[in-house]
Amino acid sequence: MEVKCVMLRDELLKIVQENKKQHEAMRKEALAGYCEKATAACEEAVAKLLYAEPASVLIRMRPPEDHTRDYERAIRMLEKTQQTEIELSEHDFATLVDDDWEWTGSWVTSNRGFSKTVSEYATGKGL
């Protein structure tokens, strides 16, 4: 069974804009947490080297990805369309309304350790 949802363009646009703001805020917080943890890991490695402790130095931390462009593309499309009503597939609804993109799971997994907000977001989404 294929279910479609019809939403007013302006309502959908507002939802996507809010989702974008939330993503930007969570990424900013995660980036600050990443910088703090990465700095601490580097300082620990340097301290070991300064005290002549033989140690392998390998720090694997990836900075939070920025998916703002995905939101901006969706927003531009909604702003440019002549339609006042937008028909959404289940996938479109999950992405644009529920803010559940293809990358959401991996993004949350890689950033929840850097941000309390991302962790709470993940818990709220059951991730």
Q: What is the pLDDT of residues 73-117, one digit of tens each?
A: 999 999 999 999 999 999 999 999 999 999 999 999 999 999 999
- Confidence (pLDDT) at 56: 76
- Confidence (pLDDT) at 107: 94
- Confidence (pLDDT) at 45: 86
Neighbours of 111 (CB within 10 A): 25
- Confidence (pLDDT) at 85: 96
As a whole number of angstroms, the distance between CA 52 and CA 46 comes to 10
Is residue 10 classed as helix, strand or coil in its secondary structure?
helix
Please enumerate in sequence order all residues whose Cβ is within 8 A of that of 31, keeping only pairs 6 or more positions apart, or say none. Answer: 63, 64, 114
- Confidence (pLDDT) at 1: 65
> Are the C-beta atoms of 92 and 18 separated by less than 8 Å?
no
Give the global pTM.
0.86
Mean pLDDT calculated for residue range 58-66 = 89
- As given in the structure block, the two tokens for residue 107 are 């993004």
Residue 74, H or E segment: helix 68-80
User: Closest Cα to residue 60, out of 77, 27, 84, 37?
Assistant: 37
> Are the C-beta atoms of 67 and 30 separated by less than 8 Å?
no
- As given in the structure block, the two tokens for residue 121 are 């977001």
- Confidence (pLDDT) at 95: 97
- Confidence (pLDDT) at 60: 87
Q: What is the pLDDT of residues 9-37, one digit of tens each?
A: 999 999 999 999 999 999 999 999 999 99
- Confidence (pLDDT) at 39: 95
